[in-house]
């Protein structure tokens, strides 16, 4: 799911009784949080685990259809 930051609207921003946070500041904070979450996921090995899991699932799928003694499955990075 992706949040469309350009779709946010603020009504009566200057009249808010709460924190005077602009829509731009809010969007910048959300973008920063998104970037930090992506970096943390990569550093925790999420991509490597996802690749390993995908390779296992695909190998087992092909094993059900083809004789893997006759075929070799090669996974390449793009």
Tell me the mean pLDDT in the region 28-52. Answer: 89
Whether residue 58 contacts residue 48, with contact meaning beta carbons closer than 8 Å, is answered with no
Q: Is the pLDDT score of 4 beyond 70?
A: yes
48-76 pLDDT, tens digit each:
899 999 999 999 999 999 999 999 999 99
Q: Is the pLDDT score of 13 beyond 60?
A: no
Q: What 3-state class would DSSP assign to 24?
A: helix
Predicted pLDDT of residue 56: 96
pTM value is 0.51
Q: What's the DSSP call for residue 68?
A: T
Q: Is the pLDDT score of 3 beyond 80?
A: no
């Amino acid at each position: 799911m992706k949040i469309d930051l350009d779709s946010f609207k603020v009504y009566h921003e200057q009249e808010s009784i709460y924190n005077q946070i602009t829509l731009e500041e809010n969007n910048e904070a959300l973008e920063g949080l998104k970037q930090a979450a992506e970096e943390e996921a990569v550093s925790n090995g999420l991509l490597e685990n996802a690749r390993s899991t995908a390779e296992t699932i695909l190998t087992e799928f092909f094993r059900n259809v083809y004789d893997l003694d006759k075929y070799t499955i090669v996974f390449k990075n793009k």
